[in-house]
Chain A
Amino acid sequence: MTGRAQILSRLDSPRVLGYVLIAPAAVLLLGLLAYPLVLGVWLSMTSASLGNAGEFVGLKNYATILDDPIFRGAAGFSVLYTVCAEIGKLTLGLALALILNQRFRGYRAARSLMLLPWVAPTVLSALAWLWLLDPQFSALSWLLIKLHLIDTNLDFLGHAWSARFSLIVVNIWRGLPYFAIGYLAGLQGISKDLYEAAAIDGATGWQAFRRITWPLLAPITTILVAFSSIFTLTDFQLIWTMTRGGPTDSTQVFTTLAYQRAITSGQLGEGAAIAIAPIVFMIVLAVIVVRSVRER
């Protein structure tokens, strides 16, 4: 048997051919995903700063950030921001999908318009919200004053809790279409027969939702929540554009603090440790996504 024939014969084995076929993708993934991640983990265990490779310091950077109240605050707000935004997006996204799943005049236009917050560049929408929430020129405050609901402008971004709440609202506004479109696809995949059978059995609208709609939307819910949580936990543009982590670091999240420490201040090691810190949450979310996809 010649060498060429031997190679071809080995490639005939599905086991070998499989590895050969996934090799380019594996190399790409290792290069583009694994390398930066490994580099990030390595940097987090060094004293690297801008222009200085630093030296291995073990877990010192992690000990430093755990002792830092600003990091603890950022971690707390990151979780709060993600949980509240996900609850808001899920609830309102599902409600929107249920409405848009109905046939009414202009429903096609409504479905297209719904996507606007999601397709607009984040920085642009963040700037628009910055104006809407401006302490002096807020259109929202103006409206509320005209409606005689308040006397003076609201200070949306000037206090810790109002700024945090405002950012969560803007994130919900931005991420809502992702849930709505996902749920809309899910709703359209549910057979009408099930609802007709439930109606014949005398089920109310709420019972039909609880016993048919919600259980059948559960798999897509898991995927939507998991993916969206990853995006929300790593949100940067919106917060950086609107508050830069202020006032007094009250709206810092993992990403903005990591950026401030690593890039603006030049402490790459400490910044990398902050950026790596949420990885535990991310892995849990990634496992959920992978399992859900497999189960489907």
Chain B
Amino acid sequence: MKHPDRREFLHSTAAGIGAAALAGAFPAIASAADASPFKPEKGAELNLLRWKGFVKRDDEIWAENTAKFEKATGVKVKIDALSWPDVTPKAALAAQVGSGPDIIMGWNDDPFVYPDKLVDMTDLAEHIGKAHGGYFDTARTYCYDPEVKRWVSQPIGVTGNALVYRKSWAKEAGFAEFPKDFDGVLKLARGLKKNGHPCGFSLGHAVGDANGWTHWLLWGFGGKQANPDNSIAINSAETAHALEYAKQLHETMIAGVAGWLDPNNNQAFAAGQLGLTMNGISIWASAKDNKEHPELYADTANVVPPIGPSKQHTIFNNFTSAFIFKYSKYPNAAKEYLRFMLDTAQADPWVTGMVGYVTPALKGYADLPVWTSNPNITPYRDAMAGAKFDGFNGKPGKAAAQALDEFVIVDMFADHCVNNVSVKDAIAKAEKRLTTIYKR
């Protein structure tokens, strides 16, 4: 009699008690059951370029998981990390010169700029999606290129955005609970300012922070950059309302936000100078180690940004995905590496250890216990579910990516809020720029 091997045994067991239940209760077993069709090439070595996390445990656990992969497969992986804004140009250069890292963890629709330079990721994306409950809609938007009709990148997730505020100061301003609408947020901001604890939202060329809150407001009022046919739609009454609201909000902000880059709101919040901002979970997570302001950790709360007049969630997150360049000599090893890293045995400790700093694009990870272990983590679980993509409501792709890279929306808000350009002129300037970009 032939004894079933370990894989066959797991397959039959999983079939008996239900794969979904198994994945939730026994993640390590589920991982083993997820047989990989990707066999690394002999002698493979990989070079990964990724962005540096604002939460230390993100990079640390990623490196630990990579070491596990090296041990399991014998494939060496060298990891290079750059600051957020430096990854996009580095990836672009790699695409242009045909040399560089095998895998890059890039931002938003970066891969749509050079899809022909990238390995077809359809098999990997479908394999992983199937194993972990499928993807949230935004993941497909950013990683499946409808022009070339294939997955060009493997969805990883988002560094989710939420509103981060000081509970005691909000209470002092008359808000025991965080407001549920835009008017309430403005009233809270005014109250905070009155009590000397202003809010702060970047209006500088900050990739994550400035794009995050300006898009939230634009879409929240029903404004949009483009129509589904990619005709420019920025010139609308809804955009005007968003700008008018932003101007009022800007009047309640701490000085200097127009010069803020990504680290500035983290630093100001950590120094006890901010009552409210929009950010990933890094502010709250790092507050635990804040010796200068020990009160910060207990007094900080994270909430899902309220819904505006458009009556739908309008969160804008920084979406990250991993793509493999065609010049890589080891595409199978690269795919196996990504499969391994996104498998439950690795992804669970990664997401848990960094307390949800990256919200996975896979629906299967929305049930991890970490999301409900603290009410301050839960809003980031929902970052993917309510997210929109850049260029909304136009087509994702090169034009949308370029408009984001050139800060067209951020500068439109800054023009009106900081430079006192009229609503009409700020919109007209953005419309002209968008028209040029979308006509390229």
**Chain A residues packing against B (C-beta within 8 Å):** 49-52, 64, 68-70, 134-137, 152-153, 155-160, 163, 243-249, 259-261, 263-268, 270
Contact = CB atoms under 8 A, between A and B. Distances in A.
Nearest to A245: B205
Interface in B414-436: 414-415, 418-419, 429, 433, 436
B264 A247 contact: no
B205 A244 contact: yes
A249 B402 contact: no
A157 B419 CA distance: 13
A235 B329 CA distance: 37
A246 B95 contact: no
Interface stretch (B28-36, B86-94, B275-283, B370-378): B86-94
A142 to B, nearest CB: 13
Contact of B406 (A49, A136, A265): A265
B390 to A, nearest CB: 13
Interface in B176-203: 203
Contacts of B411: 246, 248-249
8 contacts: A136-B267, A155-B259, A158-B256, A243-B204, A246-B411, A248-B411, A264-B92, A266-B113
B259 A135 contact: yes
A262 to B, nearest CB: 9
Max chain A Cβ within 10 angstroms of own Cβ: one of B96, B117, B268, B415: B96
A71 to B, nearest CB: 11
A137 B113 CA distance: 38
B132 interface: no
A259 B429 contact: no
Give the contact-size bracket for chain B.
Answer: 35 or more
Chain B interface mostly helix, strand, loop or mixed? helix
Given A137-B267, A260-B406, A50 B255 contact: no
Contact of A263 (B92, B273, B407): B92
Contact of B429 (A69, A243, A244): A69
Given A64-B436, A137-B271, A244-B261, A260 B405 contact: yes
B116 A51 contact: yes
Contacts of A52: 116
Contacts of B116: 51-52
B256 A153 contact: yes
A159 to B, nearest CB: 7
Contact of A247 (B88, B113, B258, B437): B258
B127 to A, nearest CB: 27
A61 to B, nearest CB: 11
Given A51-B95, A51-B116, A263 B256 contact: no
A156 B96 CA distance: 37
B254 interface: yes
A247 B116 CA distance: 34
A180 to B, nearest CB: 30
A248 B88 contact: no
B420 to A, nearest CB: 11
